[in-house]
Structure 1
Amino acid sequence: MSQPPSPRNWKTLDKDLGRIGQLELATLYVARPMVGLGIALAFMVLVGLIAAVFTGSGATSAIIIAAAVLGAYMAINIGANDVANNMGPAVGANALTLGGAIVIAALCESAGALLAGGDVVSTISKGIIDPAGLEDTSIFIWAMMAALTSSALWVNLATWIGAPVSTTHAVVGGVMGAGIAAAGFGAVNWSSMSAIAASWVISPVLGGVIAASFLAFIKSQIIYQDDKIAAARRWVPVLVGIMAGAFAAYLSVKGLKKVIHIDLGTALLIGVLVGAVSYAVAAPMVRRQSIGMENRNKSLKTLFALPLVISAALLSFAHGANDVANAVGPLAAIVHSVEFGEFAGKVAIPSWVMIVGAFGISFGLVLFGPKLIRMVGSQITKLNPMRAYCVALSAAITVIVASWLGLPVSSTHIAVGAVFGVGFFREWHSERRRPRNMPFERKKLAVEERRRRKLVRRSHFLTIVAAWLITVPAAALLSAVVFTVLHALFV
């Protein structure tokens, strides 16, 4: 008769089973990125097949198929990097779960691209290079191909290192680099490039100042009042009205080009009317919601949660309408040049090309977006619904102010600059409210402890700013190299 296993044997078996379980978990963890990569590659292959159906066969169709695959790759990277700026603050403030943010953003981005995406885009990225400076159509096609490749690769690298960058600037750098490689420095419109360089400073500073100003207002008029709930009943509807008006004007200027052209004055009038109606609707809703609430900051967070979610959805819609051209603009230029044998500064975007851009952005967001969403939402500075609301509000207002002033701005720089603005304001405000005897105690703190107590993580700040500064030159250099290789192989 066999002896039953001893307790020691059972313990050994448990350890072995534990190791096997840990191995399975490790395998799943390692394989997870590969699943996303596989789905992304499958989508790019599907786009190539769709392009083949619409273009037929032949040498020219091969160019369009290759460009369509590159356009899909660029759209995936835009979804992975750019969309985090819209959803990150809401997720960081716990107003939305990560899964909920991804679903809302995917739907709103696709709707914005398909319903309100501009049907005519400037394929040479707002006059960065002069088409007359290029020798012939084939040179132009390879220049656009190089721009698309380099900008997608750079945004992919930025996403991998965890830096939210401007995809618009990446495309601009790619077009500029290819133009210089094809026709020399004289082909570049340097006045346009100077304006874009100025936006590197203008966008984040303006976004940060506006966000910090709204946070200062909320603190003084609501948070630090003796009766917080009464103050919230007075001011939250006003802030909701400002948000609704700002987004109505923003969408009128940026998101409805395909439906109707609206000038800035008309857009502002629309914003005022929508803001007034929104205030009238929000006032009784806030009053009912606040009944029975405790006089605490936690209650205020509840009142700001729903407006924050709506603002994040509207930002995603506007982003899909406005920035889908970064993925499909060069692709549309290549399709037009191949089909008509000429290049133009503005061309119509075929429907299938717009669909590629819309779905590519959604795929990129779902597969690779969580990393940057967490970065923007929680790793730069701690956000709550009030602070995140200021970020979203700043993003809409800054675009309107910049349009009024005629300044080129980046939505990425505005949103991330607003997060930095909120964080640095919190640092300044906490130092200002520190008791007078605290500075003497602060001198005794070690340097590492002082750094730890900062409310904005300096490492992320330096990484992101560095990535912003080198986006255009890096994309330009990479594009010049890609164009030189393509020109040597195919021309």
Structure 2
Amino acid sequence: MTSTLTTMTDLITSTAASMTLAEFQSSLLWALIIGALLAFLLGFGMGANDVSNAFGTSVGSKAVGLKTAYCMATVFETLGAVLVGYNVSDTMRKLVVDIDLYKNVPKTLLLGQVAVLAGASAWLFIATFAKLPVSTTHSVVGATLGFSIVMKGFNGIEWPKVGEIAASWVISPALSGLISSVLYVIVDHLVLRRPNPVQAGFRVLPIFYFVCLAFNTFAVSYQGSKILGLASIPLWLAFTLAIIVGLLSALIFHFIARPFLMKWINKDDESSNIPKAYTNDACSDSDVSIELGEHSTNEKQPRPSMDSRIGRGTNKVVPFQSNAKTHEITPEEEKQIQEFKLHPRGFVAWLFPVRDRIEDAKTLKLFGSIQVFTACFAGFAHGANDVSNAVAPLAAIWAIYHDMSVEQKGETPIYVLLFAAIWAIFHDMNVEQKGETPIYVLLFGVFAIVVGLWILGHRVIRTVGEDMSEIHPASGFCIEFGAAVTALCASKVGLPISTTHCLVGSVVSVGTVKSGEGIDWKLFRNVALSWIVTLPVSGVISALIMLLMKLTINMN
């Protein structure tokens, strides 16, 4: 008898739950549709602002064209998010909000996702039209705080994590700027100030290729994506693979790519992306040839004449000419000779490049070749760090959807996560999602980012790559490499930093070291202020939308 009653009770409960699920879906169909549209807008805003600024320095230095940058961003941002973007994708509970507060109120959580989408995407669009590079990660964090404060007050908010994010506004640009500026000083001493910088460049570039490819390979293989089965690769194997790939890239450059690069940097091609200040147009009446063996120019011989200048307060650029007409060193040129001195002031003067220092255009053109790789590296790092970083505030939704647990075990970008979370709650009326993210949802998110990048990406690209500081291929290489290293290391240890902040910090630091006067400080001030207001502005927008829904919609 008891067994029969239990069976009947279970049947009645199941039927009631089914009816409740049907009513739930019917009442929130509008929220699902609006959520899908807002998810597209968030992806669009991410592509227009957060993704595009990763390639700003490459476009600004003319190492790659705008369309080429778009194509590379489309490929390498996706690869970075899939191959590496996992560790910073922690749960919302661990980052800023305790998701357990919403276990019994799935409708509130669903509508909260709508508010988060609206708040984050609205701020991204505002910043993009103002040409300000901001962080999608911090936009989503602020929007999450906004909706949760409206619904649950300050309960469940992890303020120490919020403090870490605020600290990253200083830590990210400072650390990245330090790495990039140190690298630029190394490049300056090993290549740019040498008597034959082109020959020195060919000697040093294989090392840079080795470091760049080896570091990237290690980042991908060690504790890599579970989706691709890379999480179980041991440290020694990842390190060995990195060394092998790095050595192969260095050997390929030295024995295969080197002859082609020799011809390319000697070719007077008007279709080249390098601006005229970097080409032979400054002294086009002479024939230029470059030997990689012993060169006739040495430290005791006079340098070619100088007649071209780039930017505001930045370094002069002249083409290197083996048969150029020489002249006696003038007092102005003599000031640019940097000798090592033991006393502190003399050491500092020797360590850093002098202002308006003569630069060899063909050496910069040579660095343009490796900047193509570092541009891809920067895009890969941005995809690995920022796209997955933005998942952190809401990653618990995906974890519950996939594993019936608040502990996150999967990897998914924010634009997929938000749409998938809304769909999962709508479909199951529960925060304990069990299914996989459909492939069409993934394609939906990728499409949104690509559309945003191609339509509005040029606005922020110009801010980072052209307006803030003058960038040439050698400095651009250092900026991108330093920012990428910082972002990838942060993604490995789970630090919530922004690649946007890293790139801007590197641009300012290298620009200061390179010229001292080549930074638009007013623009940098506006950018820094936009970082500070990202959390509160996106949070206020999200909170207002959530408050409006709370007053007009039954949350039970």
TM-score, normalised by the number of residues in structure 2: 0.68
Correspondence for 1:461 among 499, 524, 529: 524
For the residue of structure 1 that corresponds to 2:166, the secondary structure is: helix
Q: Quick one: percent identity of the two aligned structures?
A: 29
Contact 2:213 2:249 in 1 (8 A): yes
User: In structure 1, how many angstroms separate the alpha carbons of the residues matched to 2:552 and 2:508?
Assistant: 46
| 1:273-284 aligned within 5 A | 273-284=244-255
Contact 2:147 2:546 in 1 (8 A): yes
Q: Which residue of structure 1 aligns with residue 507 of structure 2?
A: 419
Amino acid at match of 1:72: F
Structure 1 residue 92 corresponds to structure 2 residue 88:
no
Amino acid at match of 2:62: N
1:276, distance to aligned residue in structure 2 (A):
2.3
Q: Which residue of structure 2 aligns with residue 297 of structure 1?
A: 360
Rate the CA distance shift 1:341–1:261 in 2: closer, same or farther, 3 A: farther
Amino acid at match of 2:245: V
1:222, distance to aligned residue in structure 2 (A):
0.4
For the residue of structure 1 that corresponds to 2:140, the secondary structure is: helix
Q: Which residue of structure 2 aligns with residue 43 of structure 1?
A: none
User: In structure 2, how many angstroms separate the alpha carbons of the residues matched to 1:345 and 1:178?
Assistant: 21
Q: Render the CA deviation track for 1:90-116: whole Å, top value 9, x for unaligned.
A: 111111122222233234445666788
Structure 1 residue 130 corresponds to structure 2 residue 98:
yes
User: In structure 1, how many angstroms separate the alpha carbons of the residues matched to 2:371 and 2:434?
Assistant: 36
Rate the CA distance shift 1:252–1:478 in 2: closer, same or farther, 3 A: farther
Amino acid at match of 2:538: A
User: In structure 1, how many angstroms separate the alpha carbons of the residues matched to 2:46 and 2:462?
Assistant: 16
Amino acid at match of 1:300: T
Q: Which residue of structure 2 aligns with residue 181 of structure 1?
A: 150
Rate the CA distance shift 1:114–1:225 in 2: closer, same or farther, 3 A: closer
Q: Which residue of structure 2 aligns with residue 342 of structure 1?
A: 430
Q: Render the CA deviation track for 1:7-41: whole Å, top value 9, x for unaligned.
A: xxxxxxxxxxxxxxxxxxxxxxxxxxxxxxxxxxx
1:120, distance to aligned residue in structure 2 (A):
12
Q: Render the CA deviation track for 1:68-127: whole Å, top value 9, x for unaligned.
A: 111000000001001222211111111112222223323444566678876996573853
Unaligned stretches of 5+ in structure 1? Answer: 1-56, 429-453
Q: Which residue of structure 1 aligns with residue 465 of structure 2?
A: 377
For the residue of structure 1 that corresponds to 2:92, the secondary structure is: coil
Rate the CA distance shift 1:333–1:124 in 2: closer, same or farther, 3 A: farther
Correspondence for 2:36 among 55, 68, 84: 68
Amino acid at match of 1:388: G
Contact 2:377 2:481 in 1 (8 A): no
Rate the CA distance shift 1:340–1:269 in 2: closer, same or farther, 3 A: farther
User: In structure 2, how many angstroms separate the alpha carbons of the residues matched to 1:374 and 1:337?
Assistant: 40
1:481, distance to aligned residue in structure 2 (A):
1.1
Q: RMSD of aligned C-alpha atoms?
A: 2.8
User: In structure 2, how many angstroms separate the alpha carbons of the residues matched to 1:118 and 1:347?
Assistant: 19
Contact 1:150 1:475 in 2 (8 A): yes
Amino acid at match of 2:464: V
Amino acid at match of 2:470: K
1:303, distance to aligned residue in structure 2 (A):
1.7
Larger Rg: 2
User: In structure 2, how many angstroms separate the alpha carbons of the residues matched to 1:398 and 1:472?
Assistant: 22
Contact 1:249 1:400 in 2 (8 A): no
Greater alpha carbon shift after TM alignment, 217-226 vs 283-292: 283-292
Rate the CA distance shift 1:146–1:190 in 2: closer, same or farther, 3 A: same
Greater alpha carbon shift after TM alignment, 254-263 vs 140-149: 254-263
Correspondence for 2:549 among 478, 486, 489: 486
Q: Render the CA deviation track for 1:309-342: whole Å, top value 9, x for unaligned.
A: 2322343345446517232222222222222222
Q: Which residue of structure 1 aligns with residue 129 of structure 2?
A: 160
Structure richer in helix, relative to its length? 1
Q: Which residue of structure 2 aligns with residue 355 of structure 1?
A: 443
Rate the CA distance shift 1:264–1:115 in 2: closer, same or farther, 3 A: closer
| 1:95-106 aligned within 5 A | 95-106=63-74
Unaligned stretches of 5+ in structure 2? Answer: 1-24, 264-288, 291-319, 322-358, 389-412
Correspondence for 2:534 among 471, 484, 488: 471
For the residue of structure 1 that corresponds to 2:95, the secondary structure is: coil
Correspondence for 1:209 among 178, 203, 218: 178
User: In structure 1, how many angstroms separate the alpha carbons of the residues matched to 2:107 and 2:121?
Assistant: 21
User: In structure 2, how many angstroms separate the alpha carbons of the residues matched to 1:192 and 1:119?
Assistant: 16
